[in-house]
């Protein structure tokens, strides 16, 4: 099958019309797009999401959720929706044009809002992602980040989102199509990835291209991937190094600004349709393609070959051929990679393999990564971004009632860590933060959340830059603590310490006299008295303060940090 490489439709208007529209759009009501919405919009506008002409209408959405089909019957497995707040949605009239702006306020597109509805998110989660379980990153996003209301309607593209990084490696579908045309690449196999490439990947992609008698396109996702993945800057530097390992002029790499959903089978079909738009004829689908990991019961969300099965079912209609991914392992005696299921003499040879988890462990602990596993240039890049855990930043997040002893233990911990040296330590104590960062806030749920999110933001920046952040607010709400954990874990470890002093004990101590005032009703919304506290269910550490002095409590935290490899054992 060779692809027809004629241009595909884009949603952009001409340069002159764009200039005019931009001026007119300045008067429209605007929506500031989230990072994920910017990714979606870019692929809508450049034809990557062809045949979509805008964010899904309610009718299209229902069809997509229900049976992967738009209202006109075309195959489309993923809801591409513009989620907004209730207030914003309520301010709009049917048929109103709005401006869509990036995070700096630049107008990227306009949209005519034809549809405005409250989706059934639980149903969307069940149907699209297979379970209404927040352990799935896209379900978590759906319930905890996405707005409550969806807007649908056609989009008119004014300009592409601006990217300052790796510009030469970014292509629209039509640019790639033109490139394939120019080079006479009639058969192209694409490899989708969100991870660094090692020798096994290089081997399997090379074989896939040979088998399909096609050229190879490494097509990594640089939009949004799974939380915790290696950042795309590092990955692209790694990919550049691997590109040199392929025979010259057989292989190219282009970056895809997609926001992944980790939806396994549906995602594989979606990836295929997108690649088809990019002019690709063959697509590699591996074991557990775009898998989100384990659900809250500790089981896999999807079967290992569900993605291949669903892809196969729709392959013909999609017009892109699947190349099933073989599990490659290293055979020591023959010093080469071979597909695991093709090795006939398994009992006589030594098969070597390093799992993703094992690789992360070796990087985290600064251990050797053998040359048979990866290329030295790739390992060097990974080591630069992922120094061993004992050199990375991290956050210790104390939570507990007022007067539980959080601040005292946090102070002792800070001093102990400063005595050890090696990394800067910052204490974000509840009172300090309320004085310097959150002086205008009170103690309503909304204000407490804001306060904690600010602490989380600062802690994540400290963690990112290799420092140690010690936070000690009450942080009474589990969902907010979880959000902070997610912010921090993008950059380093998050160690939640529950200072488990009971409310009775805190009230008995009443070091600041606040409990008395709270009982008298003179302080409202007081945590534990007249405001809730969600006890952490699975903190990294729980410390009891009754019967343990401060030094001992701080020492327990130090031991925990050692056992997690965050500080070198002494």
What residues are labeled active site?
193-195
- Asked whether 318 and 276 are in contact (CB, 8 A), the reply is yes
The number of beta carbons lying within 10 Å of the beta carbon of residue 164 is: 5
Q: Which of 449, 456, 454 is nearest to 480 (CA)?
A: 449
C-beta closer to ligand PPS: residue 107 or 452:
452
Pairing mode of beta strands 107-112, 97-101: antiparallel
Give the one residue of 434, 482, 519, 555 binding ligand PPS; rule: CB under 6 A: 434
Residue 307 lies near ligand PPS (rule: CB under 6 A): no
Q: Smallest gap, in angstroms, from Cβ of residue 423 to ligand PPS? A: 24
Size of the site for ligand PPS (CB under 6 A): 21
- Asked whether 303 and 294 are in contact (CB, 8 A), the reply is no
403 in a labelled binding site? yes
- Asked whether 235 and 196 are in contact (CB, 8 A), the reply is yes
C-beta closer to ligand PPS: residue 242 or 554:
554
Q: Which of 484, 145, 126, 131 is nearest to 293 (CA)?
A: 131
Residue 407 lies near ligand PPS (rule: CB under 6 A): yes
- Asked whether 283 and 300 are in contact (CB, 8 A), the reply is no
Residue 423, token pair as written in the block: 């990394």
Residue 427 lies near ligand PPS (rule: CB under 6 A): no
Q: Of 174-182, 309-317, 378-386, 401-409, which part binds ligand PPS (CB under 6 A)?
A: 401-409
Q: Of 52-60, 309-317, 481-489, 521-529, which part binds ligand PPS (CB under 6 A)?
A: 521-529
Angle at 29 between CA 27 and CA 30, to 5 degrees: 105
Residue 402 lies near ligand PPS (rule: CB under 6 A): yes
Q: Smallest gap, in angstroms, from Cβ of residue 446 to ligand PPS? A: 11
- Asked whether 411 and 427 are in contact (CB, 8 A), the reply is yes
Nearest-angstrom CA–CA distance, 82 and 85? 10
435 in a labelled binding site? no
By beta-carbon distance, which residue lies closest to ligand PPS? 430
Q: Cα–Cα distances in Å, from 224 out to 88, 138, 485? A: 25, 11, 18
Give the one residue of 87, 431, 534, 551 binding ligand PPS; rule: CB under 6 A: 431
Strand ranges for 410-520 from DSSP E: 425-429, 468-472, 493-499
In the window 447-506, what residues touch ligand PPS (CB under 6 A)?
Answer: 448, 451-452, 473-476
Angle between helices 406-420 and 550-563 (to 10 degrees): 60
Q: Smallest gap, in angstroms, from Cβ of residue 413 to ligand PPS? A: 15
357 φψ region: left (φ > 0), alpha (ψ -120 to 50), beta (else): alpha
Q: Of 66-74, 262-270, 330-338, 429-437, which part binds ligand PPS (CB under 6 A)?
A: 429-437
Give the one residue of 525, 544, 550, 565 binding ligand PPS; rule: CB under 6 A: 525
Give the one residue of 311, 330, 515, 526 binding ligand PPS; rule: CB under 6 A: 526
Q: Of 91-99, 199-207, 322-330, 400-408, which part binds ligand PPS (CB under 6 A)?
A: 400-408
Q: Smallest gap, in angstroms, from Cβ of residue 147 to ligand PPS? A: 24
404 in a labelled binding site? yes
Residue 523 lies near ligand PPS (rule: CB under 6 A): yes
CA torsion, points 216, 222, 225, 230, in degrees to nearest 10?
A: 90
283 in a labelled binding site? no
C-beta closer to ligand PPS: residue 54 or 473:
473
Number of helices followed by number of strands (H, E) in the chain: 20, 20
DSSP string, 195-214: S---HHHHHHHHHHHHHTT-
Residue 148, token pair as written in the block: 């409550």
- Asked whether 150 and 83 are in contact (CB, 8 A), the reply is yes
C-beta closer to ligand PPS: residue 292 or 405:
405
Residue 443 lies near ligand PPS (rule: CB under 6 A): yes
Residue 527 lies near ligand PPS (rule: CB under 6 A): yes
C-beta closer to ligand PPS: residue 130 or 430:
430
Give the one residue of 161, 265, 403, 467 binding ligand PPS; rule: CB under 6 A: 403
Please give the backbone phi and psi of residue 6, each rounded to the nearest 5 degrees, phi first: -65, 155
Annotated binding site: 400-407
- Point out which residues bind ligand PPS (CB under 6 A): 402-403, 407, 430-431, 434, 443, 448, 451-452, 473-476, 512, 514, 523, 525-527, 531
Annotated binding site for ATP: 400-407
């Amino acid at each position: 099958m060779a692809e027809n490489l004629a241009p595909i439709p884009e949603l952009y208007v001409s340069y002159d019309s764009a200039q005019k529209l931009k001026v007119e759009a300045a008067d429209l009501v605007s929506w500031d797009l989230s990072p994920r919405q910017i990714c979606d919009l870019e692929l809508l506008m450049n034809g990557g999401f062809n045949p979509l002409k805008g964010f899904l209408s309610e009718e299209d959405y229902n069809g997509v959720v229900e049976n992967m089909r738009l209202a006109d019957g075309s195959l489309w497995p993923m809801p591409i929706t513009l989620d907004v707040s209730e207030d914003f949605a309520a301010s709009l009239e049917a048929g109103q044009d709005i401006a869509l702006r990036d995070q700096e306020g630049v107008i990227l597109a306009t949209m005519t809002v034809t549809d405005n509805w409250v989706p059934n998110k639980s149903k969307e989660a069940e149907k699209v992602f297979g379970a209404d379980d927040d352990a799935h990153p896209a379900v978590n996003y759906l319930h905890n980040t996405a707005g409550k209301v969806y807007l649908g309607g056609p989009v008119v593209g004014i300009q592409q989102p601006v990217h300052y990084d790796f510009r030469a490696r970014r292509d629209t579908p039509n640019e790639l199509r033109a490139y394939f045309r120019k080079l006479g690449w009639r058969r192209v196999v694409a490899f989708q990835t969100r991870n660094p490439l090692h020798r096994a990947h290089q081997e399997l992609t090379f074989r896939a291209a040979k088998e399909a008698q096609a050229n190879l396109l490494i097509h990594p996702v640089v939009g949004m991937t799974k939380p915790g993945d290696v950042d795309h800057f590092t990955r692209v530097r790694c990919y550049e190094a691997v590109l040199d390992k392929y025979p010259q002029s057989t292989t190219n790499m282009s970056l895809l600004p997609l926001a992944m959903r980790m939806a396994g089978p549906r995602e594989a079909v979606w990836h295929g349709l997108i690649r088809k738009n990019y002019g690709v004829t063959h697509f590699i689908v591996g074991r557990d393609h775009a898998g989100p990991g384990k659900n809250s019961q500790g089981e896999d969300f999807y079967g290992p070959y569900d993605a291949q099965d669903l892809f196969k079912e729709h392959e013909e209609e999609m017009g892109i051929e699947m190349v099933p991914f073989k599990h490659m392992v290293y055979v020591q005696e023959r010093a080469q990679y071979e597909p695991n299921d093709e090795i006939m003499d398994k009992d006589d040879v030594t098969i070597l393999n390093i799992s993703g988890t094992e690789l992360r462990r070796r990087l985290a602990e600064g251990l050797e990564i053998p040359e048979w596993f990866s290329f030295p240039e790739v390992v060097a890049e990974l080591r630069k971004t992922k120094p061993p855990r004992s050199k990375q930043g991290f956050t210790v997040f104390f939570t507990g009632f007022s007067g539980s002893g959080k601040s005292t233990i946090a102070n002792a911990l800070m001093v102990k860590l400063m005595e050890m040296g090696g990394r800067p330590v910052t204490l974000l104590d509840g009172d300090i933060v309320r004085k310097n960062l959150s002086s205008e806030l009170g103690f309503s749920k909304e204000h407490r959340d804001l306060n904690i999110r600010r602490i989380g933001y600062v802690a994540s920046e400290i963690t990112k830059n290799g420092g140690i952040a010690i936070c000690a607010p009450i942080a009474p709400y589990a969902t907010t603590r979880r959000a902070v954990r997610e912010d921090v874990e993008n950059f380093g470890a998050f160690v939640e310490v529950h200072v488990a002093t009971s409310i009775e004990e805190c009230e008995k101590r009443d070091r600041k006299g606040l409990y008395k005032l709270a009982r008298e009703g003179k302080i409202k919304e007081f945590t534990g008295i007249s405001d809730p506290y969600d006890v952490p269910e699975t903190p990294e550490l729980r410390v009891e303060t009754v019967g343990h002095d401060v030094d001992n409590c701080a020492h327990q935290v130090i031991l925990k940090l050692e056992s997690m490899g965050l500080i070198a054992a002494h």
